[in-house]
Structure 1
Amino acid sequence: MQSLSQSQDQPQDQPQKLTFDEFLVQYPEDGGRYELHYGAVVEMRPIGPHEQVGGFISDQLTLEIYRLGLPYFIPRSCLVRPVEEFEAYLPDIIVLNRETIGADPYWKKASTISTGASAKLAIEVVSTNWRADYSKKLAEYELLGIPEYWVVDYRGLGAKRLIGSPKEPTVSVYVLSDDEYSVTLFKGQDAIASPAFPELNITVAQLVQMGESVT
């Protein structure tokens, strides 16, 4: 990851700390993917297998949305405005609710959500920066009230306290209840159980295979 934002009239060791709204105004228009971490703009550059896994999940969710006629959609890009003003996240996949998204004050002007009611499900596919997915983003999505959050750790990179021992590919599904997330871990041939998509049929093994395949 690479920090891209720094005021030219500040010392190199004192980069400008942006708020979320300042980040929106200064968002680079080069087609890249960027997040705001502790007030610094960070470019997100996923590897090929990461994109293969995310693409497969997105395709399967889209099929379910159309098959069941659900009032949901998956945007190409959507920022999440967390409670912390110096953070901004760009989930790998986010499922939005057509029936509630119009009430979000950030949606129409910035393709951004700021309330949990706007979303049904957020998904992060784990890369080498797995700690943010399991900690900072988890806490912020919980505070925001996003009802369901997946951490797709298809390479088993997370700490043993998070995914168990021995470490292996794991999908952690966090479900909001009484303003707190509870988690269920899925591994191997387990089918991922999703409250938002109860008829979905994806196994962890399929995601691992997608991450290993080269077409």
Structure 2
Amino acid sequence: MTQALPKVVTFEEFANWKPDNGRYELHNGVIVEMSQPLGDHEDIVGFLVEKLVTEYTRLNLPYRIPKTALVKPPESETGYSLDVLLLNRPNLATEPRWKNQSTVSYGESIPLVVEVVSTNWRDDYLYKAGDYEKIGILEYWIVDYLGLGGRRFIGNPKQPTISIYQLVESEYQVSLFKNGERIVSPTFPQLNLTAQEIFDAGLQS
């Protein structure tokens, strides 16, 4: 669950206020306090970070995954704190908010993002997908390991699903992966990883 703090603020006010502890997002001027993720959620995030770092290191790509950076959609008093944010480091020189606010806004800076679904699944499927498409983020993963999303997004019957959104001619096209299906990543086409391996990350000792 998330809790909205009622005062309406600008993104600049939010970025200057945002404390080091806790996790907050700004949704159209409203500060939203994000709940503490479950252990399985954190295990899956950690597993994906390990796999992506290994892959971009192997390919000698100039990428990095920050811990607490924000993504700001254009012309919006909104700022998202993602589960996994892959940055294209050479493009950070063009980001006006990077040095002082750890914030990026340009699609060229963001090859890939990942959200691991919690109870507020509508944010991931409805709002964030639209904003990431508008920014021009080339690839967006929604890892719905509990099968919480609406049937129009993950099918019927509902089951754990990974949705990979690929930007094609400025619009997202989505592919769904379940069970032992090998995921297909446009950014990392040689990544050898199944949906079930990702879901099981929280169960590994």
TM range, smaller chain: over 0.9
Are residues 1:199 and 2:187 paired? no
Structure number with bigger Rg: 1
Q: How large is the RMSD of aligned CA atoms in angstroms?
A: 1.3
2:154 — aligned with what? 163
Residues 214 and 194 (structure 1 numbering): CA distance in 2 closer, same or farther, change over 3 Å?
closer
Q: Distance in 1 between matches of 2:134 and 2:81?
A: 16
SS in 2 for 1:16: strand
For structure 1, the residue ranges without an aligned partner over 5 or more in a row are 5-14
Letter of the 2:23 counterpart: R
CA distance in 1, matches of 2:155, 2:96: 40
Paired AA for residue 120 in structure 2: N
Q: Which runs of 4+ in 1 moved over 3 A?
A: none
For 2:27, the equivalent position in structure 1 comes to 37
Correspondences of 1:60-209 after superposition (within 5 Å) = 60-209=51-200
Taking structure 1 as reference, are residues 214 and 196 closer, same or farther at Cα in structure 2, changes over 3 Å only? closer
Q: Secondary structure of the equivalent of 1:199?
A: coil
Residues 117, 146 of structure 1: 8 Å contact kept? yes
CA distance in 2, matches of 1:99, 1:192: 28
Check whether the contact 1:39–1:87 (CA below 8 A) recurs between aligned residues.
yes
CA distance in 1, matches of 2:61, 2:97: 23
Structure 2 Cα separation of the partners of residues 106 and 86 of structure 1: 14
- 1-structure distance, mates of 2:126, 2:74: 14
Distance in 2 between residues matched to 1:208 and 1:193, nearest whole Å: 16
Corresponding pairs, count: 203
**In structure 2, what is the Cα distance between the partners aligned to 1:77 and 1:156?**
26
Task: Give how far 1:54 is off.
Answer: 0.7
Residues 183-192 or 76-85, more deviating: 76-85
Separation in structure 1 between the aligned mates of residue 66 and residue 58 of structure 2, nearest angstrom: 18
Give the 3-state SS of the residue equivalent to 2:22 in structure 1.
coil
User: TM-score normalised to the size of structure 2?
Assistant: 0.94
Q: Distance in 2 between matches of 1:66 and 1:208?
A: 24
1:38 is displaced (CA, Å) by 3.2
Report the Cα offset of residue 28 of structure 1.
Answer: 1.8
